[in-house]
Structure formats: C-alpha cells, structure tokens
Amino acid sequence: MGKQRGFIESKLKENRVFYPSIDFAQKANIDTDELERLKKWAEMDWEGFWRYFAVKKIHWFKRFEEVLDDSNPPFFRFFPGGKLNASYNCLDRHIKSWRKNKAAIIWESENGETRIMTYQELYIEVNKFANVLKTLGIKKGDRVIIYMPMIPEAAVAMLASARIGAIHSVVFGGFSSEALRDRINDAKPKVIITADGGFRNGKAIPLKSKVDEAMEELDYKVDYVVVVRHIDRDIHMKPLRDFWYQDLMSDPDYAQIYCHPEAVESNNPLFILYTSGSTGKPKGIVHSTAGYLLWTMLTMKWVFDIKDEDTFWCTADIGWITGHSYGVYGPLAMGATTVMYEGVPTYPTPAKWWELVEKHSINILYTAPTAIRALMRLGNEWVLKHNLTSLRLLGSVGEPINPEAWMWYYTTIGNERAPIVDTWWQTETGGHMITTLPGAQAAKPGSAGTPLPGIFADVVDTEGKKINDPDKGGLLVITKPWPSMLLTIWGDDKKYIDVYWKKFEDKGYYFAGDGARKDSDGYFWIMGRVDDVLNVSGHRIGTMEVESALVSHRYVAEAAVVGRPDEITGEAIVAFVVLKEGVDKSRHDEMVRELREHVQKQIGPIAKPQEIIFTDALPKTRSGKIMRRLLRDIAAGRQINQDTSTLEDATVLDKLTELKQKLEEEMNKNNSSNK
Ligand code: WTA
C-alpha cells in the first residue's frame, strides 16, 4: 500500500534543529532529565507508571482493580473496576479550590462580543443542564447528539451529558443534514442539542433547520430537540418535541442547581465521535472515560506545559477530536482557562486571531498548518499590528507542517521565542502520541518528534518488521496499548478489529493508517495517509464518501476521487467522473457546479471537490480496482511513469493522457490570461 503512494522513499530533507530557550526549559513542567526519567520508568515498569499517574491525576469515586485488562485483545480495558465522573473531574474538584472564580471558558464572537464563564458559573450551568437532560428522561448510556456552533453551551452540553453518564456525540456544525442523519441513524440518540444557528464570516448560518431536515427521513425516533437561542431568528419549533434551552434552564422544575454526578466505570463510553475511514461510511469512534481523561490531562501538562496562569487557545471546532481533547476535557480537567472563538480567522479582518491573542493575553496557541499557511499568505502586516508577546508556546496538529509554514509560525508569530510542538495523533488515539516536549527536546521543522513517555510507536514494513534505515519510509504502528485508545467502533466490533488490528495481527500492533520515517535521532517524520483517506485542511475525508455522494447524483455512472497537493489546504479534492449514457455533456460548467453542490449537500462544504474532470472511463486493474495512483498523477499534473502493465484496458491510459494534455493546455491558457 505504502509503495503505491510513493511513500517508501522520503524526499523531504530538513536539517534545522531548534532548541528551547534556557528560560523556557528552566520553567518547563518537564525538562530533559525528567523526560528521560519518565521514558525509562515507562519502559521498565509500564504498569507502575500508569498506575501512579491514574491515581495522582484523577478523582476516583472507587479505586480501579488493575491497570490493564488485556484478556480480550484488541479490546483493551484500562483501569477496570474504577468509578469516576468526567464532569466531576473537570468541575467539582476545581470549585472546591481557589479556582472556583478562575475563568474556565473565555468565549469571543466575530464581532468582538466576549463572555467569560468562571469554573463556578460553568459548574452551575452544567449541573442545571444535566438535570434538564434527566427530566427529559435521558439516562446513563443513552446517546446525546450535539450539533452546535462554537459557543459555551456546546461545552455545557458535553459536560452535562458526561455528568449523567450519557454518551455524547458531537457532530461538526459544518456537516450537512444528510451527514447528520447518517450519524443520528447510527448513534440512535434520545435527544439532539442544537442552536437556532451560528455566526460565520459575518453571516448567521441556520442549524436547527438542518436538524429538522435530518429528522424527516429518519429510521429512528428522536424524542427531543433542545435548541439554544443564539442568532435570535424565528424558527420552526415542533410542539412537544422541540424546546428552547433558555426556557428549560429557567424552569425550576427542570433545572435545579445540583445534579449528583453518576459514578461510571472507567470504560463507560464518554463519547462517540465520527471520523472518515477508507469505506463509504464514517466510523463512530468510542472513547472511554478514565483512560481518555487521564491522557488528555497528562498531555496538557507535558506537551502544552500548562500552568495555572496560562490562557490556552486551541482553535479547533468542538466537532473534531482536537476540540474535544484540547478545547474542553484536557484544559478543564487541568483547571486551565480555555478560549473558544466562534468564527473564521479572517473576519472581520485577517487580524482577528492576532487581535484575540492580544486582547486575552493568550499564552499557548494550538492550531493547524492549513490555518497557518492561509494566514501567512495574507502578509505580515496583520500580525505586526498586534502585540503577541504573551505567546510562549505554539502547537500544530492535523497534517505534516511544511518547513516554510513552520518557520513563519516560529519567527513571525512566536518571535523566535516560543517553541513549537508538532503533535501527531488521531481521533482514535484520543490524545497526543508523537511530539516533542517543549522544554526538554529540540524541534525539527516538519518532524512531529518522538513518542511520548508511555507510548510505544514504530515504523515497520508491510510484514510488520521494524525498519531501522533512517531514510526508509514505512507504516506507522503503535506497539503497546495506551490509556486513551479507542474502545471500539460504535456498533461494529468486527470493523474495529479489521481496520486497526488485522494488518499486524500476529504482532498485536495498532495500524495507524499513516506512512512515516524515523530518522537517526529517533524523530518521526509523518508522510501522510496510506489508505484512501484525504487530509483537506487537516480534516479527514474518505475518498469513498465523496465517491458515493457523487454516484448518488442522477448524472453519474462512476466516480473516483483523489487528492492533489495544495498550498493552503494540504490536499485538494479532485473527482474523475464518468457520466451516465445519454447525459448531455454540453452544459459542462453548469454540471460541474451542480455536482460540487450536490457533494456539499450530501456531506458538507469541506468535502466539495475543487475540481471535477469528466472522463469516458476510469483506469482499472484487471481485477477491477481503480488505479488511483494514475489519477493522482494526472490530477497533480505529474508525468505518468509508473508500471501500467496491470491496466485492464490500455486505451484508457491513452485517453487519460490526452485528457491530461488538454487540462494542461487549459491551465496554461488560464495562467497566461491571469497575467
Ligand atoms: C494526520 C487529528 C502529520 C495523520 C488529531 C493522522 C498528522 C490524521 C498530524 C488524524 C501531525 C494529524 N503531523 N500528520 N502532527 N496530526 N495528522 O483523526 O494522517 O482528524 O492519521 O485527528 O491526521 O486525523 P484526525
């Protein structure tokens, strides 16, 4: 697999190394000696290591019986028998301390409106909403879908669900009603929590109406919809099913001030989060309570070097794992102040983010390479208007960061003072896996770094043999279970085994789906997905999902979707489409537009192909498999110099080559007319 995408030879050579300043290293939570000690400890006494941190970091209602139950691999269960509550760990223990009046969430909107919720305020809001959910009949183990804009109520909904032992599933607010419907059908929630809408780019975007659309053709009955009034528009509310959040929260019959936290077992699912894989259907990744919480806390402390005085901003939407682990659970469990921003980085001006950093004296900023590249392109003047000296640490996540963007982030945003942590992890891993610790390790632009203490990762060949050649790429695996690992795929244990464990069954390795190389210092260089998953703006999009969206359109007979390197988004979606017999091709531009909109409607704007190319046939192997690598070359305008002997029909290649020439000519024409 790796070979097909050309991952085996790594072309990226980057020799620069950046050490933290002495000042940073001296004050860091983890210094070089401590890192060495932790690594050795985890190697020599793996169980003792995890036991120590689990006891130290988590408030338990009942102590766990053992560190790991591995009697039924790969269904590993950490800290079995323990009882805890995630919302108690994020709230109750802080309000019993001086943090009671510390800011838990600082929220800001595009127009500069700010809301600050202290731990005490958040605690009351969560307790009240937990009681609301209980009154609506939600019980432990029931699913709660959250489809919300980036407002504090989204975090309240998550924590309230956790408080009563229900399982939340946040669906990204940018997903379409169809995508929402699929997730509702899979998770079967009793209640959906949403808002009338959200703000983005200066516009109010409706949300509740999408919930209504999703509910129209549901295989399943959702009892209630709770709607936060946010954009203040008149919307349709279905009697006895739909309730305003604000009404319920001001009703003493529903919203009493204290809700007893449900003591759940360590492996009681805290949430389900859907993510794309190589099949047409998103997978519901299920996370535990104890192991997940423990690792988000430890990584906050080790990787983000979090201190009580810090203001921490993770820019990810709560609809993604990054927003879960480092927007909500990690920071709150650590008693930190977390920033939430509802809007885009460039509205009202391209200085919005830097304005936020200055206004709230943000100390730690965690974002994605795609955002860094987009902001970099807009020029330094937007940055230089603002005082960013509060920033002491920067983070990156979602895709490999190219050294040019890394350098800009380091010099222009961090003023060569703030270390950068490039964190490799996945929805499935719950928290960071490979990175550098900012006060203990040097950073190399473009490399994520090394596995964290307690995490064991490696690069292997397709047989599972470790690759020791520092220039040779292979497949990234995790060789030992870790506390914040996924429990399973919701409702599909078999798929869980097939996707992550089958490949290296005899070794018991977790297959991450990424290609990587390990250099002579043991630093990992991630080379991207080796399966049919694209990474567009740091978001995982399955090519199959886009393909099935395309073929559901009445024009389309067949479709193949590939990624093309893109300067801003990392990868851009290119679709090759075979039209049905008899479809009139003369309306080319109009059809392209229609198909792009169709995909947007089916999945959401992030999955909209950048380009759609009509072709008479797709290149296939004799066994009927689409030869995507050829299409990738064509999409990227590269020379086709691969072995094409397995092609079922060689004339397809001629036609595609012809097509490619035509495309290039067109591109040249466009380029010269743009000049
Ligand atoms: C990619 C996001 C290189 C990788 C937390 C992974 C990265 C997928 C990095 C997971 C990084 C994430 N360097 N690649 N620092 N971080 N990736 O599930 O391909 O949305 O498998 O989780 O993003 O994406 P997901």
- Please write the tens of the pLDDT for every residue from 414-447: 999 999 999 999 999 999 999 999 999 999 999 9
User: Which residue's CA is the nearest one to ligand 1's atom 7?
Assistant: 399
Is the pLDDT assigned to residue 317 strictly greater than 70? yes
Query: Encoding tokens for residue 1?
Result: 């697999």
User: Is 518 contained in some domain?
Assistant: no
| CA pair distance 181, 384, nearest whole angstrom | 44
Is the pLDDT assigned to residue 638 strictly greater than 70? yes
- The confidence band for 5, taking pLDDT boundaries of 50, 70 and 90, is very low
Is the pLDDT assigned to residue 158 strictly greater than 60? yes
pLDDT (0 to 100) of residue 307: 98
Q: Residues 193, 145: contact at Cβ < 8 Å?
A: yes
Query: Where among 461, 479, 509 does a domain terminate?
Result: 509
Is the pLDDT assigned to residue 482 strictly greater than 80? yes
pLDDT (0 to 100) of residue 641: 60
Q: Is residue 448 in contact with ligand 1, taking CB distance under 6 Å?
A: yes
Q: Is residue 542 in contact with ligand 1, taking CB distance under 6 Å?
A: no
Q: Residues 653, 647: contact at Cβ < 8 Å?
A: yes
User: Is 259 contained in some domain?
Assistant: yes
- Ligand 1 centroid to residue 401 C-alpha, Å: 11
From 514, 523, 529, mutation site for ligand 1 pocket: most ligand atoms within 8 A of C-beta: 514
Query: Encoding tokens for residue 145?
Result: 């879908």
Q: What is the mean pLDDT of residues 554-576?
A: 93
Query: Encoding tokens for residue 261?
Result: 């936290």
Which of the two residues, 592 and 655, has the higher pLDDT score? 592
549 and 469 part of one domain: no
Instruction: Give the pTM.
Output: 0.92
Is the pLDDT assigned to residue 259 strictly greater than 70? yes
pLDDT (0 to 100) of residue 655: 76
258 and 349 part of one domain: yes
| CA pair distance 627, 641, nearest whole angstrom | 13
- DSSP of 501-555: TSTTTTTTPEEEEEEEEE-TTS-EEEEEESSSEEEETTEEEEHHHHHHHHHTSTT
User: Which residue's CA is the nearest one to ligand 1's atom 13?
Assistant: 400
- Ligand 1 centroid to residue 426 C-alpha, Å: 5
Q: What is the pLDDT of residues 80-93, one digit of tens each?
A: 999 999 999 999 99
Q: Is residue 427 in contact with ligand 1, taking CB distance under 6 Å?
A: yes
User: Is 155 contained in some domain?
Assistant: yes
Q: Is residue 537 in contact with ligand 1, taking CB distance under 6 Å?
A: no
Least confident of 139-153, 223-237, 388-402, 656-670: 656-670
From 285, 315, 425, mutation site for ligand 1 pocket: most ligand atoms within 8 A of C-beta: 425
What is the three-class DSSP state of 101? helix
Query: Where among 448, 477, 509 does a domain terminate?
Result: 509
pLDDT (0 to 100) of residue 581: 87
Q: What is the mean pLDDT of residues 211-235?
A: 95
- Ligand 1 centroid to residue 425 C-alpha, Å: 5
- The confidence band for 203, taking pLDDT boundaries of 50, 70 and 90, is very high
User: Which residue's CA is the nearest one to ligand 1's atom 10?
Assistant: 426
Query: Encoding tokens for residue 242?
Result: 């739909």
- Ligand 1 centroid to residue 521 C-alpha, Å: 22
- Ligand 1 centroid to residue 492 C-alpha, Å: 23
The H or E element spanning position 352 is: helix 352-359
- The confidence band for 617, taking pLDDT boundaries of 50, 70 and 90, is confident
- DSSP of 142-183: -EEEEE--SSHHHHHHHHHHHHTT-EEEE--TTS-HHHHHHH
Q: What is the mean pLDDT of residues 321-333?
A: 98
pLDDT (0 to 100) of residue 670: 60
CB atoms within 10 A of CB 203: 11
Q: Which domain holds residue 565?
A: 528-674
As a whole number of angstroms, the longest Cα–Cα distance in the chain is 74
Of ligand 1's atoms, which has the minimum distance to the CA of residue 533? 19
Distances in Å between the Cα of 517 and the Cα atoms of 162, 490, 499, 665 are 39, 32, 22, 37
User: Is 224 contained in some domain?
Assistant: yes
Q: Residues 453, 39: contact at Cβ < 8 Å?
A: yes
Q: What is the mean pLDDT of the chain?
A: 93
Q: Is residue 397 in contact with ligand 1, taking CB distance under 6 Å?
A: yes
- Ligand 1 centroid to residue 651 C-alpha, Å: 38
Which residues of 238-372 form beta strands (DSSP E)? 242-244, 264-265, 271-275, 283-287, 311-314, 337-342, 364-367
Q: What is the mean pLDDT of residues 606-620?
A: 91
Sheet holding 510-518, edge to edge: 457-460, 473-478, 510-518, 524-529
In this structure, what DSSP letter does residue 335 have? Answer: T
- The confidence band for 619, taking pLDDT boundaries of 50, 70 and 90, is confident
Instruction: Please report, for the domain that includes residue 136, its CATH number.
Output: 3.40.50.12780
575 and 493 part of one domain: no
pLDDT (0 to 100) of residue 332: 98
505 and 534 part of one domain: no
| CA pair distance 609, 574, nearest whole angstrom | 6
- For the chain, helix, strand, coil in percent to 5 are 35, 25, 40
pLDDT (0 to 100) of residue 140: 98
pLDDT (0 to 100) of residue 672: 56
| CA pair distance 372, 279, nearest whole angstrom | 30
559 and 438 part of one domain: no
pLDDT (0 to 100) of residue 54: 98
Q: Is residue 424 in contact with ligand 1, taking CB distance under 6 Å?
A: yes
- The confidence band for 9, taking pLDDT boundaries of 50, 70 and 90, is very low
User: Which residue's CA is the nearest one to ligand 1's atom 6?
Assistant: 426
- Ligand 1 centroid to residue 10 C-alpha, Å: 18
φ, ψ dihedrals at 654, nearest 5° = -60, -45
- Ligand 1 centroid to residue 528 C-alpha, Å: 8
Q: Is residue 535 in contact with ligand 1, taking CB distance under 6 Å?
A: yes
Query: Where among 474, 509, 544 does a domain terminate?
Result: 509
Query: Encoding tokens for residue 278?
Result: 């190589």
Which of the two residues, 281 and 191, has the higher pLDDT score? 191
φ, ψ dihedrals at 296, nearest 5° = -65, -35
Query: Encoding tokens for residue 437?
Result: 């610790």
pLDDT (0 to 100) of residue 671: 56
474 and 595 part of one domain: no
- Ligand 1 centroid to residue 427 C-alpha, Å: 8
304 and 341 part of one domain: yes
320 and 382 part of one domain: yes
User: Which residue's CA is the nearest one to ligand 1's atom 23?
Assistant: 398
H helix runs in 603-637, sequence order: 628-636
User: Is 517 contained in some domain?
Assistant: no
Nearest to 297 by CA among 534, 137, 483: 483
Q: What is the mean pLDDT of residues 18-30?
A: 97
324 exposure class (CB count in 10 Å sphere: 0-12, 13-18, 19+): buried
Is the pLDDT assigned to residue 648 strictly greater than 80? no
141 and 286 part of one domain: yes
Angle at 12 between CA 10 and CA 15, to 5 degrees: 125
- The confidence band for 6, taking pLDDT boundaries of 50, 70 and 90, is very low
φ, ψ dihedrals at 356, nearest 5° = -60, -45
User: Is 670 contained in some domain?
Assistant: yes
User: Is 3 contained in some domain?
Assistant: no
Distances in Å between the Cα of 519 and the Cα atoms of 13, 168, 524, 547, 602 are 10, 40, 7, 37, 42
- The confidence band for 7, taking pLDDT boundaries of 50, 70 and 90, is very low
Q: Is residue 273 in contact with ligand 1, taking CB distance under 6 Å?
A: no
User: Which residue's CA is the nearest one to ligand 1's atom 12?
Assistant: 398
- Ligand 1 centroid to residue 179 C-alpha, Å: 22
Of ligand 1's atoms, which has the minimum distance to the CA of residue 526? 3
User: Which residue's CA is the nearest one to ligand 1's atom 24?
Assistant: 426
Q: Is residue 423 in contact with ligand 1, taking CB distance under 6 Å?
A: yes
- Ligand 1 centroid to residue 424 C-alpha, Å: 6
Is the pLDDT assigned to residue 2 strictly greater than 60? no
pLDDT (0 to 100) of residue 4: 36
- Ligand 1 centroid to residue 667 C-alpha, Å: 32
Bridge partners (DSSP) of residue 8 are none
User: Is 466 contained in some domain?
Assistant: yes
Contacts for 201 with CB less than 8 Å, ≥ 6 apart? 110, 343, 344, 347
| CA pair distance 396, 369, nearest whole angstrom | 6
Instruction: Please report, for the domain that includes residue 659, its CATH number.
Output: 3.30.300.30
- Ligand 1 centroid to residue 328 C-alpha, Å: 19
Query: Encoding tokens for residue 66?
Result: 């053992």
549 and 419 part of one domain: no
612 and 488 part of one domain: no
Is the pLDDT assigned to residue 8 strictly greater than 60? no
Distances in Å between the Cα of 601 and the Cα atoms of 211, 236, 593 are 14, 21, 12
492 and 577 part of one domain: no
Number of helices (H), then strands (E), belonging to the chain: the values are: 22, 32
Is the pLDDT assigned to residue 572 strictly greater than 70? yes
Query: How many structural domains is the chain composed of?
Result: 2
Is the pLDDT assigned to residue 314 strictly greater than 90? yes
- DSSP of 181-245: HHHHHHH--SEEEEESEEEETTEEEE-HHHHHHHHHT-SS---EEEEE--S-------TTTEEEH
Q: What is the mean pLDDT of residues 107-118?
A: 97
